[in-house]
Amino acid sequence: MTKVAGTHTLPFFPSARPLSSPLMMQSVVGLVLVWLVSSIYGAAAFAHIARATKRGASLNLAPAKKVHILPTEEEVRAAVHSIVTNAAKSAIESRGHFALAIPGGSVLKVLTSLEPEWDVSKMTLAFVNHKCVPIDDVKTAIEAQARAKFLDRWGATNVVSLGGTSNGEKEASEYEAKLKSLPESILPRDGDGFPVFDLALVGVGDDGHIGSLYPKRGEIDVVDGPWVVPAFQKDPPSISLTLPVMQRAKQTVISAAGKSEKYPNGKAGAMKLAIGEENITPKDFPASALRQSAVWILDEPNGSELGMGVSSVEKAVGDV
């Protein structure tokens, strides 16, 4: 290979070897295309294409292995409570601090009845996703809802807040900057520079969205560096942690429990697609991208389409 101007790499073709076989011709054409992509779009773009191709080879995802169906909504809640408590105690004991990421929705309801058994002053809380709205608007702001339900009662003071504007790009950029300003003693990083939360609680929507990463939108494809992205699926926009951040948490937990008149089996259909459907991709159903990195804890209605037996709180907690 020959370097040109210190920037791009050109394929070197030995002139002594005739390009007679079809296989050799294909190889040469492939090398030329690689060089053209690298030359036109730059090394970063080529690296992105290479990673995307690598990901594409495993789009037919294997079913999730850590799945627990518990008899009742109350048992799901008890399992999540134990997981949060154990993660907090373990992190504080091992490194002196606990980094927690939470979404809105049903997870807030689950956390409402949790009484912390750890030193909350040694906890930093960030949001998996959040609407770009005033943070004190209890009707729309996850932070305001979380404070009303449990954060203020816990005495939580280390909360990474949004700025409260409706500018999605500005809020995402500033939120990432706030996370990056945290020292590694508070929010560790992995070898690729991504943050590693001690625990990320993630919710799944009926359409498979996680955080604010929605199906068939570009946000789910952002895997090459950003920690936070703006999401414009709805108005006002939201911010969301990117997929690599959710995947790289030390522990990632997805819970689904409860039902309604509209959804008598809760999110059973969504859980089936997220956990076990073979012909699905993260682009079609983002939650499927967490199959191998998350522990899934469902009550019986939400797990009714999986064809699995009933587990226990102890087994679910022990699997994290």
Q: How far apart are CA 139 and CA 234, in angstroms?
A: 16
The conformation of residue 218, written as its DSSP 8-state character, comes to G
Total number of residues shown for the chain: 320
Which has the closest alpha carbon to 58: 289, 309, 314? Answer: 289
Q: How far apart are CA 154 and CA 100, in angstroms?
A: 14
| pLDDT (0 to 100) of residue 62 | 85
Domain boundaries, the chain: 2-56, 67-318
Q: How far apart are CA 187 and CA 253, in angstroms?
A: 18
pTM: 0.81
| pLDDT (0 to 100) of residue 48 | 37
Are the beta carbons of 110 and 75 closer than 8 angstroms?
A: no
Alpha helices in 219-312 (DSSP H): 243-248, 268-275
Q: Which residues pair with 131 in a beta bridge?
A: 238
Residue type, 253: V
35, two tokens: 């060089």
243, two tokens: 């997929």
Are the beta carbons of 210 and 287 closer than 8 angstroms?
A: yes
| pLDDT (0 to 100) of residue 53 | 33
The C-alpha angle with vertex 264 and arms to 262 and 265, in degrees rounded to 5, equals: 125
The conformation of residue 151, written as its DSSP 8-state character, comes to I
Are the beta carbons of 212 and 239 closer than 8 angstroms?
A: yes
Assign 2 to helix, strand or coil: strand
| pLDDT (0 to 100) of residue 260 | 73
| pLDDT (0 to 100) of residue 107 | 96
| pLDDT (0 to 100) of residue 263 | 72
Q: CA-CA distances (angstroms) from residue 294 to 15, 22, 65, 287, 290?
A: 53, 45, 9, 10, 6
Are the beta carbons of 152 and 128 closer than 8 angstroms?
A: no
| pLDDT (0 to 100) of residue 285 | 97
17, two tokens: 């070897």
* pLDDT profile of the chain (320 residues), mean per 10: 36 37 44 41 36 38 92 98 98 98 95 98 98 97 98 98 98 98 98 97 95 96 95 96 97 92 84 94 96 96 95 96
Q: 67-318 has which fold?
A: Rossmann fold (3.40.50)
What are the DSSP E strand ranges found in the chain? 2-4, 8-10, 67-70, 98-102, 123-127, 129-131, 199-202, 228-231, 238-241, 252-256, 294-299
| pLDDT (0 to 100) of residue 15 | 36
Are the beta carbons of 35 and 9 closer than 8 angstroms?
A: yes
Burial of 64 (0-12, 13-18, 19+ CB in 10 A): buried
Q: How far apart are CA 168 and CA 244, in angstroms?
A: 20
Residue-wise burial string across 133-167, b where 16 or more C-beta atoms lie within 10 A, e elsewhere: bebeeeeebbbbbbbebbbeebebebebebeeeee
